[in-house]
Structure 1
Amino acid sequence: MSLLPSFTLRSLTSPLPRRTRRYPTSLTLLPGVSIKTENSPIGEGTAFNAHRLSYQKAIKMDALRPAEEHDETLYLRVIASPQSATRAERNFIQQLPSPEEEDQMCVAKTGLTLTELVAKALATPDDLTFVEAKIVSLGILHDAFDNVGFDEREKRYDLRYMEPSPLQALQNKAIEAIHQARGEDEKKAGISASKIWTALDKIESDKQYESWRQARAARRLKAGTRWMKTILQGLEEEGAECWGFVVFRTGCYGAGEEGDAAWQRFRDYFDKLAKATVLHWNSGPLLWPKFRAVFVEDEALDSASNEQLRERFREMRDGRNGGDHLPKGIRTSCFLVADRATIKSEAAQAPYVPRYSSNVGQIHIMPEDPVVYIRAVDPDYGVKERPDAEEHVEMTGFQGKATVALPRVFDWLHLVCFNAEHGDGIPGADQRKGWRAIYVQTKAPEAWERNWDPSGGVLYA
């Protein structure tokens, strides 16, 4: 394994005669003035709120009707007395279709007029459909800007509100006055409808996200992870049902926060970290269910030396002196030691959250990140022969143990031990070659290296 760390424009309606529209591709407003709607069908999508000024940003400023004196007079009157505005005038100011057209569009979409929809929202809001709720809350043209990008919206917003012409400024004030003068029933209906469509939209969004997540998981599983496939194949060939390590508890015995409570926190951290690390890899969902850690808890092991632990482990591995046999698949060339310092590590008291990148599968563990370090021990140190002369130089200073960042236990360390124990398919291969790799890569570096140091750096999937 390599460790590398269009926009659909609203019709500008007026009391003046207009041609009948059937969702046209261009709207004729006045002789010689037309607006293209980019052939965008009316349907569900990004909300347009006729009552919210923020959505006015998408008005196409270069296509507005030329300013006329009677417009200014209407704006001034409505600003002074918004209650005096008729529905037709309110729609005209807000650049909505005429009341007749508005009801026709509403009936076509829901079977009800706008007034009937508002009544339904007041009486039985839970019966509103998604489209009905959006119309009541956001207006008949709630989907007008489905194809307008963010930058274009901002541009139009700036044109209309940051540097408006005098007439545009009046129109904006008139729209705000209409908004403020809405009746209580209209406000109540809008609030109820907003809650309904928001809830329905979340349900649909959650479904879409879950569908995307499952598709992504299927793609990752199909791509797989080579080293995990090797381990899965090895487990199948051995008839092993699990994989993992033996972990000795050598500290924090006794009741209270300094004892069993601290151990339980460490166990929770250990389990969460193991799951997060394994599932990070493409084949993780296949390998994770087979993970198992054999925790050995015995007060007689409190502050036990490595030699004592080696003897206890060999008894378990070899089934001597009534020792428990290790489950098939648990690593036999290495065991872990959770001493007092490891159990009480401040990092173990906080949940482990790996940092993901959405474009490239990777998990970041930088040297400065809080992470628990655990001792890995060679059970055969001092028993089997020393390495040959060529390896002896690299193994200078080796004392049969290494310190490894806990996240690396569940991928890198296990793979090294698995390969050593299986000898790359060669029966009777020297398992100590695995310890050469472990020691060389866990020695304290002169400087942190992001790419190769297994106790830190960046691991790329």
Structure 2
Amino acid sequence: MDEAFLARLWAKLYAINTSPSRRGPLALDATTRALYERAAADPSSLSGQDRRNILERPSREEEESVCHEVCGLTAPELVAKAVQDPDSLSYREVDLIMRGFKKHKGIEDLWRKAEKAAKTKDELAAEEACWPKRLAWSDARNAAREAYGTGGYSIRRSLMSVPWQDHIMNSSASTKTLAPSGFVVFYTKDQEIDRTAFKAQLKKSVSLGLHRFLLLPHEPIIRGFKLHDTPHDSLESLQSHFVTMRDAGGIPTGLRQDAFLYVDDEASQSFKSERPFIWLWEPQEQSESQEQLGPVKVDIMHVAPLLLIWLTQRDMALEGRQLEMWRCKPDLEGFHKAAAQSRNPYSGKEHDGIWPPLTFGI
């Protein structure tokens, strides 16, 4: 099945199923809760009626009657048509599928009128005031979807199976509305180089990444993610500067204490390339006899949440971690190993040494 179509369909279904008119029951009775829990734990155990109850779909007879009235097809035939040839669907067929095969929306219109009548003046005003924010969220999601496309869907889905969001949201620093995380970002002090454009692109890339991969329940992470800009004297060791900040309590709560990002002239110039990057490094807290690993380039489109996911795994219990991707572990050596496999798909697939390796489908 076409990945682009799947992505569009999922986006639309997500929008429909999170709208105020499809919230689901405000409180679950014991039977409904048991059904939902069984569906989540073992989808194969659901009967046809179970599925209808969960989806709030009409009886099979009513569903077939409505479907035949609209398009002359059975419900399974219409579903097959949507999957195989979505461009051939009429607007009425699309509307029928998206409404879950319910009766003509004249009934919905009546329900909405009743709903409006039941709300207080303040409730209606509050709902109207919320629309700009709701539209802004939708616009941000659409922009992120366009920026990332649908490539690498299976790998991104695999990465999102790691419960890193819960780890951040359950930390002692998190609240109901704000879950802090992020990175210290060093910028060299150089009056002759304007970092404004690079900073703006990095900020935009972070926003796109968070909106692309996080859903509404994880908004506290989106609100709490921070890039802590820190000026740096090029004569001083970056690693020493970071350790000094950390030991003095100068790193904001929730930000990574074991790794940092930095921008030098090379990174700034990459702003004009197909894969702008930033450097990832960490303090070397190992014996002098061990090899000192240098920094690694990270695609700014994957600073959040992919890099954040990868580093957050270091803090998680083993059973909650997906330790290897690209056959590499989430340590600095693993980043170097993965970056060494990366090829630039925009310029003859030459090795570019940038993490993550796009050749693995990200």
Q: TM-score range by the shorter chain?
A: 0.3 to 0.5
Q: Which has the higher contact order (CA 8 A, sep 6+)?
A: 1
Structure of larger gyration radius: 1
Normalising by structure 2, report the TM-score: 0.45
When you count helix as a share of all residues, which structure comes out higher?
Answer: 2
Normalising by structure 1, report the TM-score: 0.36
